[in-house]
Chain A
Amino acid sequence: MALLSKKDANLILDPLADNNPITIQVLGICSALAITAELKASVVMAISVLFVMGVGNVVISLLRNVIPSKIRIIAQLIVVATLVIVVDQMLKAFQYELSKTLSVFVGLIITNCIIMGRFEAFALGNGVWRSFLDGIGNALGYGIILIIVGFFRELLGSGTLFGFQVLGDPIAKTGLYATGYENNGFMIIPPAALIVVGIIIWVQRSRNKALIEEA
């Protein structure tokens, strides 16, 4: 990380672990529950949020001195919504297949609390470069959790990863299924995501006791 000063590097590294938007700040939980039944959807969502967070934080940071504080939330909302619609329209025109996969996420990205949270808490008060790093860092922190949750839910719930049957064929009873193993249907419904996120939070806090809040 010679490219970045230590302070700047922390903007990216902190949200990955000790200040993770999902497990520590508990933001963006809604989409983490909704779309993590499949690994592919998790990855697509992570990349989309990475883009919107990076660009959005830059735009808000550029405008930070001209946005009137009374309507700053509306201004932030419009920036996210515009970005998402622009991307959606471009994809529809030039990458139609991809746009169909992504269309489900458009609404979820606009309402993602992490995005609004970072605009409000960081980009409005910091310079462009630092805001960009903060956006990337938080989106990566969000994405990592999404991918971990998606991995376990798809593997245990459907026996597949990215749609490939990695544990054998559940109907023809090959591979692991020959031993009597069954997919856990509970894993593909949203409450399972809460449990997986809960386990991640538990593991994280037992490794780093400083994260445990005083009761």
Chain B
Amino acid sequence: MAINTDKNSYTVLFAVVMVVVVGSLLAFLASGLSERIKENERFEKQQNILYAMGVNENTPDSGVNFVPTDVVEARFNERIKEQYVLVDGNVQKDDQAFLIDVKKQLAAFKAGNEARLPIFVGEKDGEEIYVLPMYGKGLWDAIWGFMSVNKDLVIQGVYFDHKGETAGLGANIKLRFFMDDFLGETLLDGNSYAGVEVSKTNNDPLNEDKEDNQVDAIAGATITGNGVSAMIKETLNAYKPYLETIRNK
């Protein structure tokens, strides 16, 4: 090779060329694919909301099976009757509420600023059910999900997901054995919004007691479990004005 790769000018030139080439490659890729990626994310959100309502393709022994992506949009429009946002205690209609970034809105709510919190109203067995988004913190990174409740605030379904919880431990919050435990649990303790605690000491691994505001924790995933408990409580806190009105319906 004739090039003297030790010269400073060459080093700088190489660095510049490398950065430009790699930078434009990644920029080109990102802008070219962003449309498809956004669509995938939208479908995923719709699948998650439907899953939390109990609309899914699960069979008794299967894992988590969502409504397939090619029909999810139609199914979503059919099963979700209304989409609202809760702003400062007032409910407003918003047909695109499912696109709202819950992370930002909950952060604004906690900071005491105006927040637009989405609510999805669907129907199950002739009864109205309400799907609320959740967002919180696990051990390593964000956890989030949706839960659906009826007007007595009994959980009709949940969906949890996470960004980077430990595989085999915290990551198991998105498996059926954990999520199914929440079915039928009540969020109320008397008149207080107790939520559902992920408990290591409830002595009820089969989760037969639905009135105890507790589900059995995953061994080895204490902090993720605590994150789930806290996330449910925070959602209840944020949506309290709305939940009050549906309880009085």
Contacts and interface: CB of A to CB of B under 8 A. Distances in A.
Given A69-B6, A70-B11, A104-B167, A189 B26 contact: no
A188 B168 contact: yes
A68 interface: yes
B207 to A, nearest CB: 10
B37 to A, nearest CB: 5
Which of B33, B37, B167, B206 counts the most chain A CB atoms within 10 A? B167
A41 B40 CA distance: 23
Interface string B1-19: 1010110001100110010
A2 interface: no
Task: Specify the main secondary structure of chain A where it touches its partner.
Answer: helix
B6 A163 contact: no
Interface string B218-230: 0110000000000
A71 B11 contact: yes
A153 B6 CA distance: 49
Given A68-B14, A70-B11, A158 B6 contact: no
Given A67-B5, A92-B37, A78 B11 contact: no
A93 B32 CA distance: 10
Interface stretch (A47-55, A83-91, A196-204): A83-91
Contacts of A129: none
Contact of B205 (A69, A70, A171): A171
Interface residues of A, number: 35
Given A66-B14, A68-B14, A104-B167, A86 B29 contact: yes
Contacts of A94: 36
A13 to B, nearest CB: 30
A92 B41 CA distance: 9
A126 B26 CA distance: 28
Contacts of A157: 168
Given A37-B169, A68-B5, A93 B11 contact: no
Given A68-B10, A82-B26, A163-B63, A75 B167 contact: no
Contacts of A158: 168
Contacts of A78: 18, 22
A41 B168 contact: yes
A181 interface: no
25 contacts: A34-B166, A35-B167, A38-B168, A65-B1, A65-B5, A67-B5, A70-B6, A71-B15, A75-B18, A82-B25, A86-B29, A89-B33, A89-B37, A90-B33, A92-B40, A93-B33, A93-B36, A93-B40, A96-B40, A104-B163, A104-B164, A153-B168, A157-B168, A171-B205, A188-B220
Interface of A: 34-35, 37-38, 41, 65-71, 74-75, 78, 82, 85-86, 89-90, 92-94, 96, 103-104, 153-154, 157-158, 163, 171, 185, 188-189
